[in-house]
Amino acid sequence: MEGRDKMKKLLIILVGILLLTGCDLFELSEADKVRQKQYERDGEQLAINHIATKYGFSPKVKKVEAETQRDSLGPLYLTGNVFVTMEYNGRTFFVKVPIDNKYGEQTGDTYQNDVIEKAIIRELESILGKKLLYYYPSLDSKWPTSSRYYIDYFNGTEIEKFTTEFKVGVTAPLELDEQKETRLKNLMSKSFSTVFVFKTEKDYNTARKSMRSLYDEPGPIFLAEKYTKSYDDDDKLIRYTFDVKEDDIILGYKDYENKKIYSFTNYELKPIDSEILQKMFATYERKPKVVLNAMSLGNQKLSFVYVSKNYYNNHRNLQAIFYCGNNDGMDREIFEPQGDYYYSRVFSTYDCNDGYVLFVN
């Protein structure tokens, strides 16, 4: 409570200072308002010149806006970027003009984004030999501040120069020879680009319902493989295999060193010692009412837990607890629905050689 009171006092003092100085957090200063109008005049003309030089046509200008930003509780300021919304032949697109040019940026536009995206998808489908279940993120954004801007003209070749980080999904099986692996690697311009290989299309449809966005990694129970670039070597393509077998209770480990994500059954169901329980919850505020199952893992590492809907529905308010005896570490996780299962993630078990998993209410 004392900390909250201090924060309230600081906020009151800050607001008082702002009122006394006449500083408005939500409006530009008078000097910046003058600069804003000049930025927009210059930005509009530079955008028109850019399109004429790059594409050879004169579009209709629909909107010009100098970008503003505010950091924390500081005043509103100009970023130096001007976004120009244009239209040509019934198509709306954006031009980003870096007026200040603080970071050596160049003027770019979104006019070819849909063409580039279709070319990337065609190339991916050619490499993978599969129709994509999805491609994320779309280059054809409806908002100027979240769009991808291209400086160079795309003439249909050297598509790898125009790719950005992407996430795509296909169904198994996936067969890539050395030539296709090289093409895929070249297309993955960012190390975080990933190809997810779902066991079936049904697995994709089920996984999609539990993913907050297509940027998220699907649950391991739905996947057969995934391909991504190496964090350490940008010239290396990494293949991960998934082997998560379905059961009422699934314990699994993400072994990134050996490129395997798998479920295991080398655990022992047994009562947990009352002294261990007392030690676990000695300083824990919300002690469980019931310990339903205790599983001794020994030195087996653990990354995730699944339980079937039937098991979950028979034990409402179910939670999973991982306890590491050799360092007294404890992680407590709730379960989230994923298709026919409930999923709990992510446990930290890397330094543990005396682990327990407990299901508690």
- pLDDT tens digit sequence for 344-357: 987 766 677 778 88
Q: Report if residue 9 sits inside a domain.
A: no
CA–CA distance, 275 with 204 (Å, rounded to integer): 44
Q: How confident is the model at residue 1 (pLDDT cuts 50, 70, 90)?
A: very low
Indicate if 120 and 232 belong to the same structural domain: yes
Note whether residue 186 is domain-resident: yes
Taking CA atoms, 295 is separated from 291, 292, 304, 307, 359, in Å, by 11, 10, 14, 14, 9
**How many Cα neighbours within 13 Å face the side chain of 221?**
28
pTM: 0.84
Secondary structure E strands in 4-102:
60-69, 77-88, 91-98
Residue 189 lies in a domain: yes
Considering 243, 277, 301, which residue would you say is the last residue of a domain? 243
Q: Is the pLDDT of residue 24 over 70?
A: no
Q: Assess if residue 44 is contained within a domain.
A: yes
Residue 18 has pLDDT above 70, yes or no: no
Is 224 in the same domain as 205?
yes
Residue 3 has pLDDT above 60, yes or no: no
Question: Is residue 92 a part of any domain in this protein?
Answer: yes
Torsion over CA: 155, 161, 164, 168 (sign):
positive
Given a cut of 90, whether residue 250 has pLDDT beyond it is: yes
Which helix or strand (DSSP H or E) is residue 308 part of?
A: strand 304-308
Confirm whether 271 is domain-assigned: yes
Domain boundary among 90, 109, 128: 109
**Number of structural domains the chain divides into:** 3
Number of H helices, E strands in the chain: 7, 19
Residues 125 and 211 in one domain: yes
Q: Are residues 207 and 272 in the same domain?
A: no
- Statement to judge: residues 224 and 148 lie in one domain: yes
Q: What is the distance, to the nearest Å, from the Cα of residue 228 to the centroid of all Cα atoms in its chain?
A: 14
Domain boundary among 109, 134, 160: 109
User: What value does the CA radius of gyration of the chain take, rounded to a whole number of Å?
Assistant: 27
Q: What is the torsional sign of CA 238, 136, 337, 340?
A: negative
* Residue 44 shares a structural domain with residue 166: no
Domain that holds residue 191: 113-243
Decide if 289 is inside a domain.
yes
Is there a single domain that holds both residue 232 and residue 199?
yes
Same domain, 104 and 124: no
The Cα 210–Cα 203 span in angstroms is: 11
